[in-house]
Structure 1
Amino acid sequence: MTRTGIAVTAMLAGTLLAPLNSSMVAVALAPIGQEFALPPGTTTWVVTVFYLTACVCQPVLGRVADRIGPRRLFAAGMAVAAVASAVATTATSLPVLVLCRGVQAAGVSAAFPCAVLVIRRSGEARRLTAVATANTTAGAVGPVLGGLLTAWAGWRAVFWVNLPIMLVALVLAWRAIGPDERRSGRRAALDPLGVLLFAAAVVALLDLMLGRSWPAAVVLVVAATGFLWWERRAAAPFVDVRALAAAPGLVPVLGTFVLFNLAYYGAFYGLPSWLQNTLGYDAAAAGLLVMPIAASSVVVTVAGGRVAGRWTLPLSGCLLLIGVAALATFGPGTPAWLIVLDGVVLGIPYGLCNLGLQRLMYERAPERMSGVVAGLFQSARYVGAILAVGVVGAIGALRPLALVMTVVAAAVIGVLAFDLRRSGSSGVASPGQDPGRTLWARP
């Protein structure tokens, strides 16, 4: 294996840790609550704090990677995450465990932006498919692995399993990634006010979606407006919103990813609840009926890099629309085979869209902003999922939820069709792309 291959392998190991840990611990919440004698509503902080921290830290650490390079940041992130995971195995209270989860999320958040930078440095964009595959597969196998580990060795095992992955990734990356480049101004301030406003907006959004409180809506508007105002004026902005807006088609990519994840996770979270509350399935049976969504998404992601072309994103949008619209026809008499079939239809666009939009993000990001844009891309995924949780909680019933998600899916198709026409008409790379590469060319 070449040195670049070893470096990317280390990046893949680090990248899969975020989706793995966000999904694996979900099945351990019940035994955690039993050990600490806490209700389910309290133990969910173990999951919530991970999503919240990762959503904020991905672009923050992406900006750091743009300034200092991927080698030291990735190694530091893996070391911090490993320490947090080790301490979590000895936690004697929920606050300690929640703190460890926050630190763990901050550490693994360095992986994806660093992976994009390593791929950018190597000039081998085809390796983005492997990154997408690692993300999708880890998220799918996380609940299964977490369940097995919890059953065999208790909930603390879901944290022990991280340690060998993190340490191997650290060693491989340190040996294989070339020295970080010396860049002028790399020690400039991180723009703490910009980071604070961004974090406040994300926290307010989460609180608004989960608690639907009006004060959170006010904080969200004020923080988001303040963030955009400040970032346009800061000497060294956390996110250079001017450059972001000037990069052709980049903002629509991020916005489309938010909408796509909103529609997808709206169905993913809403369907199990309907299966249990309306059709009377137990949790295990409902999980089996939903499993085809994750399974088909993994298969398509693995195969998608070989078959992706100009049609990939429009097809994924159409399949998403079909999948969520079909949910509006479900009722008490819906057969199990139809539920499984619709799950397969929903999983296919997740794999295709994840591949297509990730590659498009990579190609349209200005080179000097590769890390922070990669972080924003991941944050867009989390924001879409957060919005979906709020919408599912607010609507409840499957049919009206499906109708809302159908409108969102239609919006996704409209944006993708417009982008396809715009990018296809020129046939040239946008500023910030690797020369000779376009989204619609096979890697």
Structure 2
Amino acid sequence: MTERTKAGPIPSAQSRFDRRLLPPMLLGSVLNPINSTIVSVALVPIGVALGAPPAQTAWLVSALYLATALGQPVMGRLIDIFGPRRVFLVGTGLVGVGGVVGTLAPNLGVLIVARIILGFGTCAGYPASMALVRSEARRTGHDSPASVLTALAVAGQTVMAVGPLLGGLLIGVGGWRATFALNVPLAVVAVMLGLLRLPERAGTDPAPRHDRIAGRLDLPGMALFAVMLIALLLFLMDLRPDHWYLLVVTFVTGTAFARRELRAATPFVDLRVLGGNVPLLATYGRALVAYVVAYGFLYGFAQWTEDGYGLTPFHAGLVLIPTALMAITVSVATGKRSSVRGKLLTGAVGQIVACLLMLTLGADSPLWMLLVVALVFGVPQGSNSLALQNAVYHQADPERTGSSSGLLRTFSYLGSLVATATTAASYGQRADTHGLHTLAWVMLAAGVLYLLLTVFDRTLRHATTGR
């Protein structure tokens, strides 16, 4: 029964979010940010060890995002069908496999394979967490506390900013291979937490029959989506006029994918619903341009501090600490505020100011200027990811929370791939100051576009995160 106090009824355990789910949710959600960020300070040491210039080591970044951009909606759809537990366990197990392959890799090619495995493996954590939040809301009859979504955002932001420092520490102790070996114990802990804490059938229909699984997965739709996305990403990762045929492949398979999904009984991506959900589409567009800025800073700035400014990997990681501290502060301060639009505008202005400051940096800049730039970048890091996550949770079809959350990450990784391609093109053989400024101009353009997409989106005026 529900107890009472003078202030009113005290919710029973059955009506409260199950806090035992938080450890696997948080760990699963940060596996991808860990692998996204920890490599940022390892690119230069890997290049030196294997004799590869920045244009080649950039594939270590692109390979992970190619895998995650494709794998996120696939994992999300599997979670919608089978529930978070099974997919979470398989995904985190793959993280361990990728860690072993990367640790033992003899050359750059095998390292790229390891990053692909890590990309697919880390796809499960975030959509599984969002599906668990939704299933708990159904179980309790109440929206999950804003603090839960805030905790997921803060965990990801913390790892994104602290990852380079952790990478620097690991490189100092065990070399760049230690940044891959870290995945093995993390995967073991994640699998154990998943086995012990995650419910058997949360967030899905009771035990789908095997004769219906293939139909519900929409394998032809997934295949067309994969070809379309791979062709587009390969074009973005190496922008050259003679690669025009990749755009043709993208267009043809994209058209076939759209026709398939509009006719399928159980589509992989329900374009009929998605096409009518303008607010959700706008959120995906904002995610793409936001992560052009975020990952342009993360990879471009980190490489420049080592190659163009002369810091060690450890000290390059230290310079990014203010980003983490500011991101956490902004997320905690705004996490319970209901306005999504306010968070997005804060992030938009923060991006523009940070990019303008980045244009003032040079090889002779005092260290405190680098710290100021890192601090300001923490504002959009803390505000944007939280606002985008909250927006998708409340804009998406509740029955497709997993796949909708996966698509958010897909658009985010499209932005990160644009940032990676731009970083590689800006730097060429060396991450110098001229390349940094070229990158900063592209980031500034993306930041302005983000601001315009937010200011002119009237649907945001009444959008709230809930309580």
Instruction: Provide the aligned C-alpha RMSD in A.
Output: 3.2
Contact 1:6 1:173 in 2 (8 A): no
Post-superposition CA distance 1:230-287 (Å, at most 9, x none): 322233321111111223511100011111122333444454566678xx52143766
Post-superposition CA distance 1:300-325 (Å, at most 9, x none): 23444245645222222122222223
SS state at 1:312 partner: helix
Matched, 1:250 2:280: yes
Matched, 1:282 2:306: no
Distance 1:240 1:291, change over 3 A: same
Q: Shift of residue 113 of structure 1?
A: 0.6
Matched, 1:205 2:232: yes
SS state at 2:214 partner: coil
Give 1:60's match in structure 2, choosing from 71, 74, 94. 74
Q: Which moved more, 1:143-152 or 1:298-307?
A: 298-307
Amino acid at match of 1:247: N
Q: Distance in 2 between matches of 1:402 and 1:88?
A: 31
Gaps of 5+ in 2: 1-12, 138-143, 428-433
Q: Shift of residue 98 of structure 1?
A: 3.3
Q: Shift of residue 13 of structure 1?
A: 0.8
User: 1:193: which partner in 2?
Assistant: 220
Q: Which moved more, 1:55-64 or 1:340-349?
A: 340-349
User: 2:344: which partner in 1?
Assistant: 313
TM-score (norm 1): 0.84
SS state at 2:335 partner: helix
Matched, 1:136 2:157: yes
Would you say how many aligned residue pairs link Structure 1 and Structure 2? 427
Q: Which moved more, 1:175-184 or 1:381-390?
A: 175-184
Contact 2:347 2:379 in 1 (8 A): yes
SS state at 1:148 partner: helix
User: 1:9: which partner in 2?
Assistant: 23
Contact 1:4 1:177 in 2 (8 A): no
Distance 1:362 1:34, change over 3 A: same
Q: Which moved more, 1:117-126 or 1:268-277?
A: 268-277
Structure 2 matches for 1:6-405, cutoff 5 A?
A: 6-29=20-43, 42-123=56-137, 124-126=144-146, 127-180=148-201, 181-182=205-206, 187-189=213-215, 190-213=217-240, 214-215=243-244, 216-271=246-301, 281-284=309-312, 289=319, 291-306=321-336, 309=339, 311-328=342-359, 336-394=367-425, 397=434, 401-405=439-443
Contact 2:165 2:316 in 1 (8 A): no
Q: Shift of residue 347 of structure 1?
A: 1.8
Q: Shift of residue 119 of structure 1?
A: 0.7
Q: Which moved more, 1:68-77 or 1:335-344?
A: 335-344
Amino acid at match of 1:117: A
Q: Which moved more, 1:136-145 or 1:172-181?
A: 172-181
User: 2:454: which partner in 1?
Assistant: 416
Post-superposition CA distance 1:115-140 (Å, at most 9, x none): 00001111215211111112111222
Contact 1:116 1:371 in 2 (8 A): yes
Contact 1:300 1:351 in 2 (8 A): yes
Amino acid at match of 1:380: F
SS state at 1:89 partner: helix
Contact 2:62 2:420 in 1 (8 A): no
Distance 1:393 1:107, change over 3 A: closer
Give aligned-pair identity as a percent.
Answer: 34
Q: Distance in 2 between matches of 1:196 and 1:391?
A: 28
Amino acid at match of 1:282: G
Contact 1:11 1:111 in 2 (8 A): yes
Distance 1:274 1:54, change over 3 A: closer
Amino acid at match of 1:363: H
TM-score (norm 2): 0.80
Q: Which moved more, 1:7-16 or 1:80-89?
A: 80-89
Gaps of 5+ in 1: 428-437
Q: Shift of residue 49 of structure 1?
A: 2.0
Amino acid at match of 1:305: G
User: 2:9: which partner in 1?
Assistant: none
Post-superposition CA distance 1:319-360 (Å, at most 9, x none): 222222344555688655444333322220121011011101
Q: Distance in 1 between matches of 2:207 and 2:154?
A: 32
Q: Shift of residue 148 of structure 1?
A: 1.9
Contact 1:188 1:236 in 2 (8 A): no
